[in-house]
Structure 1
């Protein structure tokens, strides 16, 4: 049974993606202009990795926001971005190494979100 959803049903995913992308650009600029020369090179790479994966998730959320039937994948992608990128940001800024043990949880959520998006697109198409 196919359920018809209104275009507004996917608006939160699109809006979340736009906000995540804007924050990604701001954090990338902060890394380039504010952190370069302040952080050890390895920690700067960690921070930039967080920005990169945040942007991947943001772009996916923007795309999924145009698909009202996509409900579960956006939640996984957002959770993955927050955990994966967030722990890398905190690790880079504070040097708290144990956060590295949590980062892969975010990565698994990102992977699951992308896979679920593909499965759901296949089912709806």
Structure 2
């Protein structure tokens, strides 16, 4: 799981840069300011959590249930949160809003929150070994 967390963190980070550039340069002509702001929110959260995944992959051995669950919560949380925002924004810009994605975004947010909680618990449990 450790390797997967690091690899997916790197992939999410690279995609955040690509999507950020795409949003800033390629979508300005097609999106409203509100849609651009929503798209940027997806990109920011994706990048924040890509960095958290990489940090987690460096800090934790991913041998326990809690650490593995944290990894899955963060990976799936980013996917559901950020990618549903991208889908909602892009589909609404073409007047074909994929409304089924609406409930996916808060589910992704909940998974991210749970990932952060588990990150905090796991950091506290290994803090003496890391000498924080």
Normalising by the residue count of structure 2, what TM-score does the alignment of the two structures yield?
A: 0.83
2:130 corresponds in structure 1 to none
Deviation, 1:97, is 5.8
Structure 1 residue runs without a partner (length 5+): 1-8
1:40-79 superposed matches below 5 A: 40-66=32-58, 67-69=60-62, 70-79=67-76
List per-residue Cα deviations over 1:1-55 (Å, max 9, x = no partner): xxxxxxxx62221111011000000000000110012111111111111001101
Distance 1:74 1:34 in 2: 32
Question: For residue 2 of structure 2, what is the aligned residue in structure 1?
Answer: 10
Runs of 4+ in structure 1 displaced over 4 angstroms?
Answer: none
Q: Could you tell me how far apart the structure 2 residues matched to 1:97 and 1:14 are?
A: 31
In the TM superposition, residue 89 of structure 1 has moved relative to its aligned partner by 0.1
Aligned pairs for 1:16-55 within 5 A: 16-55=8-47
Tell me what 1:106 maps to: 108
Note the aligned Cα RMSD (angstroms). Answer: 1.3
**Secondary structure of the corresponding residue to residue 65 of structure 1:** helix
State which of 81, 84, 93 in structure 1 corresponds to 2:78: 81
- Check whether the contact 2:46–2:78 (CA below 8 A) recurs between aligned residues: yes
The aligned length equals 117
